[in-house]
Amino acid sequence: MMDMLVRLYDLPDIEEDLRRLEREGFLIRRPGAYERHLVADWVGRNFSPKWVSEAKVVFGRQPISCYIATREKKILGFACYDVTARGFLGPMGVAEEVRRSGLGTVLLISALKGLRELGYAYGVIGGVGPADFYARAVGAMPIEGSSPGIYMDILPEP
C-alpha cells in the first residue's frame, strides 16, 4: 500500500457540502475527550484493531486530531490526522450505510484542514486503500517508492 501526497494550501471548499449534510441531520465535529471510549469502540466494531490504537492516540493531542460524523447521536464516520507520523492523515473510515453520501470527502477535507492549521503545507495519506477516492477528492498524488513506508515490520494480529 503506497502513500499519497496532498497540497494542503489548495483544498476544496466544503461549506456547501457541510450545509447539505447538516440539513440531512449530520454533524461533523471533533469528539470530546470524554468520548474516547465511544469512538474507539465504534472504530473497533467497524474497522481494524490497529485503527483502534491509532484512534486512541488522537485524544492525547490538543486540539484532538480527529473529526467524527454523527447523526442522531450515532457515529457514522471518522478521520484522524497527525497520529502514527507527523503530517500524516489516517486512519479514516465511514459506515457502509452512508458511503457515497459525501460524508467521507467532508471528513477527509476537515482532517486535512486540521493538518494545515498545524502549519503543514503538504500532508501524507499513509498506506492508501482507495487511491482513486483521494485523487478525485483532493488531488492526492502517489509517492513513488513509498510502500511499505512507515508501516514496515507491523506485528500481526494474534
What is the total residue count of the chain? 158
Q: Could you tell me if 2 and 128 are in contact, meaning their C-beta atoms sit under 8 angstroms apart?
A: yes
| pLDDT tens track for 89-140 | 999 999 999 999 999 999 999 999 999 999 999 999 999 989 999 999 999 9
pTM (two decimals)? 0.95
d(CA 38, CA 147): 32
List, for residues 62-88, the tens digit of each pLDDT value.
Answer: 999 999 999 999 999 999 999 999 999
Three-state DSSP state, 120 = coil
Report yes or no: 134 and 123 within 8 Å, Cβ to Cβ. Answer: no
* Element holding 78 (H helix, E strand): strand 74-81
List the end-to-end C-alpha distance of the chain, in Å, as a whole number: 22
